[in-house]
Structure 1
Amino acid sequence: MMKILIAPNSFKESLSSVKIAEIISKELSINKNFQLTTLPLSDGGDGFLEVVKFIYKSQITEHNFPIEFAGEKFSAPVLINNSTKEIFIESAEVIGLKKLPQQKRNPLTLNTFPLGKLINDLVINKYSDSIPEFEKIILGVGGTSTIDFGLGAVNALGIKFLDNYGREVEPIPVNFSLISEIIFPSSFNHPTIQSSNHSIIPPNIHPNIQPSIYSSLQCVVDVQTPLLGDNSAVDLYGLQKGASKSELAMIKKGIEHIVELIIKKNLISASEYINGAGGGLASGLKIFFDAEIISANDFIFSNLFRDTNFDEFDFLITGEGKFDIQSFEGKATGEIIRKFSDKVKRIFLVCGRIEHDVKKLIPGNVDCFELLDLYKDEEESKQKVAIGLKIISGKIRDRILK
């Protein structure tokens, strides 16, 4: 009996990791000599909630909230684990690229306000009949269409941004250069000013609710790339969010201006590292609300793999939509390859595309499969991804049985 672990990540704007694992598992289950274990991955972005559902199964209840983002109206799901009293949000389900048509993708004029409003609504309604009691909010950060340093979200939670004339400024990147003052309401208990706890304390919360019962906020991030500097998250991910190079330069300049302001307020030091996940969303929540930032790898290996014996498998099947240098810099697929490369006979890496310059970093016992090899271009590979996965699964089966 050959033991095979199937642990793919999602293919962005295509299939979730749960669906990919399901397709591969179905194809391989034909062979009765295969003992299959499926553990779909998520690094906080697209498909985060599906993976949470998979992990906790019957412990999870789903609730939906109305969202308006960039003129689009839809319902966003949140999950509550009733046994652990944790609530899970996926940023990509609220402000994600997948929520917007191509013509509305413009990070210069978008921000994370709808996500902050959702968090605020959850905390306000925490003790209502519609929302079960919870003690922690876990936010999957990734797949966003925004690059606003999280200022929209913190604005929804009560922080105000003013210009030189004392007028309130909407915190979208095109306006960042106009901001000259950051205002904390008098009731606001900022962690670096008055407190050292990890509490969400929205200043516009209902006055009858005491700060001691606010939930802690944890951000699961998909990358460790810095928001600013050379090869920043703005540079690496901005173009795919719909910004031009000139717009990205404007966004970076605006964020640098905001950083100067928060340094003057002693919220961070001049040398402090600023995580770039979600266009700076996690970092904004950390700076203003003392949110905890944890890597997707820590989340995955303390939840998905907490009861897994890495030495019991013969083969590993993993993958993601695009495998590049960032995959080995904090993303789930690169990390699982590292952890399993010396523990299994072979690893099968299944991706839409694998960048040429990263292939030399892949261990020798990894066999690579690209959907692009089966189709004429990337668009066709996305349209026929399920068929392509079935074809590749057959090839993996044949290699295992050699």
Structure 2
Amino acid sequence: MKIILAPDSFKGSLTSAQVIEKIEAAAMRNFPGCEVVKFPIADGGEGTVDALVGVAKGEFRSVTVKGPLGSPVEAKYGIIHKDTAVIEMAAADGLPLIPEKERDLLRASSFGTGQVIREALETGYRKIIIAVGGSATNDGGIGAMTALGMEFLDKEGNVLEPIGGNLALIADYRTDSLCPELAEAEITVMCDVDNPLIGPHGATYVYGPQKGGTEEILAALEAGMINYADVIRKKSGMAFHEMPGAGAAGGISTALVAFAGAKLRSGISVVLEASEFEKSLDGADLVVTGEGRLDTQSVRGKVIHGIGSACKPKGVPVVALVGGMTDGADAIYQFGVNSVMVIVNGVMDLEQAIADAGKLLEDAADRMFRMIKIGKTL
């Protein structure tokens, strides 16, 4: 029996590797000697580099860059298939890098992410995958592009510091000194949100509050982001104001598309393709996936949706183990997922469920495999 384990992490409790460990233990108890193929999965947030390097048997590199508020940070990135660099924005400019009381969206910059991209390009890599989840910034990506050689100018022609608070001052930009290797690069941004750059569902108002933005700061940043989008449209003809995905990670998607020719793609699609997941389905009897919470967002291109959609054409059954399941989440059955099992086995609060996640998961996996054994006898 060949079983593929391809779960996401259970946010706040278990990494995808730990989830696999618990499910594998239950699989071995119920089907001794079975073949277990492990695919730790991430869809563009923290853990994406680890997941891809692990599955593709790649390697890690690191570089010292400026963190979101300018302090030095050792940022890790990955190399897979010998020709592709995988970069996590969270490694250089992630929210956890700034203590909550020190978060300052007006000063935060994505410069460090640009430094990692430049390092990969100058080392010789021309295929770049960027996971943009978990950022601490709201600078429209001007920090990253400045690290890659761009200059953003005010109305007097002065070069601006690339921080969120200066978006409102941008009157022009220069690309003359862009890193020359960028013209040869194929950049893919893993983007699983459809937020536009501006507006009530845009980068600033949806993600700004969790990054420390007050009502006053958010209003200033939104005005700056509108100005920034207007300048890009006037100079290039490209409109990002309402483009789905342009607001990802404080707007860095806008900059990478506008100035680096990047393509936005579903994070889980990129991960499954880069890890050659479909090849592993040959001869598979079952795929087990999962995540902390299955909801209506899960049906819009998240991990379980991506796994089910990949397995459906090949006729491989899929079961998902999840921490919780909301109304409407059963729509996932249309996308190749055959069954969902919630791991919580009694009345408990969220804190207890998180604390006991490992045991709850392994117990649920054991119950699942026992049911599968019954099914094999019918």
Q: How far did residue 113 of structure 1 move?
A: 1.0
Residues 240-285 of structure 1, C-alpha deviations (whole Å, 9 max, x = no match) = 4443455444433321221111111124147772523323222211
Alignment match, 1:75: 74
Q: 1:26 to 1:144 in 2, by over 3 A?
A: farther
Tell me the equivalent position of 2:339.
366
Tell me which residue corresponds to 1:376.
Answer: 349
2:303 is aligned to 332
Aligned 8 A contact 2:197 2:241 in 1: no
- Tell me what 2:358 maps to: 386
* 1:112-261 alignment runs, 5 A limit: 112-124=110-122, 126=123, 133-177=124-168, 179-185=169-175, 187-188=176-177, 201-202=178-179, 214-229=184-199, 231-232=201-202, 234-244=204-214, 247-261=217-231
Secondary structure of 2:279's aligned partner = coil
Specify which structure has the higher proportion of helix: 2
8 Å Cα contact 1:146/1:278 also seen in 2: yes
Aligned pair partner of 1:396 in 361, 368, 371: 368
Equivalent AA in structure 1 for residue 363 of structure 2: I
Q: Does 1:90 align with 2:63?
A: no
Residue 282 of structure 1 is matched in structure 2 by 253
Bigger Cα displacement from structure 2, 99-108 vs 35-44: 99-108
The aligned counterpart of 1:7 is 6
Aligned pair partner of 2:271 in 285, 291, 300: 300
Whole-Å separation in 2 of the counterparts to 1:212 and 1:102: 35
Whole-angstrom distance in 2 between the partners of 1:239 and 1:401 = 48
Is it true that 1:44 corresponds to 2:17 in the alignment? no
Identity over aligned pairs, percent? 28
Deviation at 1:170, TM superposition (A): 2.6
For residues 285 and 372 of structure 1, what CA distance do their matches in structure 2 show? 45
Long gaps (5+) in structure 2: none
How far does residue 222 in structure 1 lie from its aligned partner after superposition?
2.9
Q: Is the 8 A contact 1:223 1:329 kept in 2?
A: no
SS of 1:20 mapped into structure 2? helix
- Distance (Å, rounded) in 1 between the aligned partners of 2:352 and 2:291: 17
- Compute the displacement of 1:229 (Å): 4.1
Residues 359 and 283 (structure 1), Cα distance of their counterparts in 2 relative to 1, 3 Å cut: same
Aligned-pair CA distance for 1:296: 1.8
Q: Give the aligned partner of residue 19 of structure 1.
A: 18
Write out per-residue CA displacement over residues 288-340 of structure 1, whole angstroms, 9 at most, x where no aligned residue.
12123222233133233241337x54543222234333322222222323444
TM-score by length of 2: 0.82
Cα distance change of structure 1 residues 98 and 368 upon mapping to structure 2, 3 Å threshold: farther
Change (3 A) 1:347 1:116: same
Please name the residue that 1:129 is paired with.
Answer: none
The 1:224–1:213 alpha-carbon spacing in structure 2 relative to 1, beyond 3 Å, is closer
Counterpart-to-counterpart distance in 1, 2:214 and 2:339? 36
CA contact 2:111–2:144 (8 Å) conserved in 1:
yes
Q: Is the 8 A contact 1:314 1:346 kept in 2?
A: no
Whole-Å separation in 1 of the counterparts to 2:354 and 2:307:
24
1:42 aligns to what SS in structure 2?
coil
How many residues get paired?
Answer: 366
C-alpha distance in structure 1 between counterparts of 2:206 and 2:364, whole Å: 29
